Structure 1
Amino acid sequence: MASLKTLFYLGVCLCAWIITTADINLPAAENLHWVSIDFKTILKWTTKGDKHTVLYTWGQNDWIDTRGCIGVRKTECDLTEELQDFDRPYMADIRTVPEIEDDLDDPEDYPHTESKSFNPYKESSISIVSFTVQAVDESTVRVDITDTLSGIHRDGKQLSIRDIFKKELQYKISYSKQGTSGKREIKSDSSVKDVSGLDAGYSYCFTVAAFIPSRAKAHQQGPWSLHQCTAEIKTQGLSGGVWVGIVFISLTAIIITITVTVLCCRHRRHGSKRLQQSTQTSGPV
């Protein structure tokens, strides 16, 4: 019996040693990087199929467990809800955890990898914006831009990027006459911009990109949108050249009419004189 007990205890110790050794050899997560578009922020990493718990912090605060990424096997964690205070420098820590966690273990002893600092307000990418174009008159087109919705919610409302950036948000508008290569670019502080000084009767194509000049250059501008083109603007009046032609023809017609009238009057007067002279010459003696 003594030998059986000895073997039993030896087996227990061996299993404990194997588990402990396995825990020590747990691989840390690798290739941590942030992916954030319109303030929807996801932390991604690579793993060898292990379980991970994601924590985050800012400033000198303690690490906080994420609500949806505790002991998970997936290789990404959506931190949008945790980063609602968007203008802060956040850091994340991914800890590799064993299949069976012991209450006596100190989680800080597990292999872990910290991310780089990330500030959504300064670094979150802005996606392609949508807009419409409409002719105001023969030389002006109105560009109406839709402010993109963000991943941030306040009081039950989903905020737009205009709600977040306020006056810091601008738009770049690039446009050109259809069929030509020459482009012009202007900036707009608002979501509606009238582009004037266009050549009447031509179609123009527009493209728009969000622009935040207060950011570092690498994060200032979003991608350019698809082109939107106007229909050819049909002018109600006539062009200057046509009017010049009309005036020239009218003046010519008037001059010809006056000239013909004068000549006819002279011819009539001369005819009357000859008739009178003829009558006087052939009268009775």
Structure 2
Amino acid sequence: MATPTGPPVSCPKAAVARALLLGWVLVQVAGATGTTDVIVAYNLTWKSTNFKTILEWEPKPINYVYTVQISPRLGDWKNKCFHTTDTECDVTDEIMRNVKETYVARVLSYPADTVLTAQEPPFTNSPPFTPYLDTNLGQPVIQSFEQVGTKLNVTVEAARTLVRVNGTFLRLRDVFGKDLNYTLYYWRASSTGKNCSSSLERWCLRSSSSSSSCLCLCTSAGRSGQGPVGRRTRPS
């Protein structure tokens, strides 16, 4: 029987397998090489006022990008601000789902030309954040004030938040209920002393009619068990 001659014929399945293996190796090498060029984020800080919440960090990236992930304490990670060169990420829409939940975020660092790999990139975790307890309360606005006899009636505008229920934005009072306290500060323009009266949304201050025009007013808001938050406001 004659022995066949000529070039050997390769098996198509073996060639495909070798190509796939080579591609996988190149991807792993690219991923491993890229991670040495990135810097892990640091100084992760929550900035939140009336539930508008932004996560900030450092440094500004060069030749790499960040992805932010956020999760309830026992939940799944959700990507935010995917492959960004910014050093801040607005996560308001995520924390609005439950303002009494505790959230944790993390910032992952990727090479700018990264490809999807099974290798986990370097990352830094944020401190825990509970919106109901940790958001700053913005300075209340004095809506109106009017003197009636020896009393000065002051009305504070009910601040809106980004928290929504059935499509309606809630006010601070709707969210906090009785946990929310307003404090009214008042003092004479020529005096260095300062008195304080605390109530909910309306105050009556006793003063003589001759000195009432010299009163300076400011308000602040706080939660039960916490100090007030706010800056002075002088009415015109």
TM-score by length of 2: 0.79
Aligned pairs for 1:148-227 within 5 A:
148-189=159-200, 191-195=201-205, 197-202=206-211, 203=213, 204-215=215-226, 220-227=227-234
Q: Deviations over 1:166-207 (max 9, x none)?
A: 111111111123323332101012x12222x21122222211
Q: Deviations over 1:135-181 (max 9, x none)?
A: 34231001110122222222222222111111111111111233233
The alpha-carbon deviation at position 129 of structure 1 amounts to 1.5
Check the 8 A contact 1:94/1:112 in 2, yes or no.
yes
* Residue 71 of structure 2, aligned match among 39, 49, 57: 57
Q: Note closer, same or farther for the CA distance 1:31–1:200 as it changes in structure 2 (3 Å cut).
A: same
Structure 2: unaligned runs, 5 residues or longer: 1-18
Higher RCO (C-alpha 8 Å, min separation 6):
2
- Number of residue pairs aligned between Structure 1 and Structure 2: 209
Aligned pairs for 1:248-259 within 5 A:
none
Check the 8 A contact 1:138/1:200 in 2, yes or no.
yes
Q: In structure 1, what is the Cα distance between the partners aligned to 2:145 and 2:50?
A: 27
Q: Which residue does 2:5 correspond to in 1?
A: none
Aligned pairs for 1:28-39 within 5 A:
28-39=40-51
Q: Deviations over 1:215-264 (max 9, x none)?
A: 4xxxx3212231226xxxxxxxxxxxxxxxxxxxxxxxxxxxxxxxxxxx
Q: Equivalent pairs: percent with the same residue?
A: 22
Choose 1 or 2 for highest CA Rg.
Answer: 1
Amino acid at match of 1:60: L
Q: Which residue does 2:142 correspond to in 1?
A: 131
Q: Which residue does 1:276 correspond to in 2?
A: none
Structure 1: unaligned runs, 5 residues or longer: 1-8, 230-285
Q: Note closer, same or farther for the CA distance 1:76–1:30 as it changes in structure 2 (3 Å cut).
A: same
1 or 2, which has the higher helix percentage?
1
Q: In structure 1, what is the Cα distance between the partners aligned to 2:158 and 2:137?
A: 10
Check the 8 A contact 1:29/1:94 in 2, yes or no.
yes
* Residue 112 of structure 2, aligned match among 95, 99, 102: 99
TM-score by length of 1: 0.66
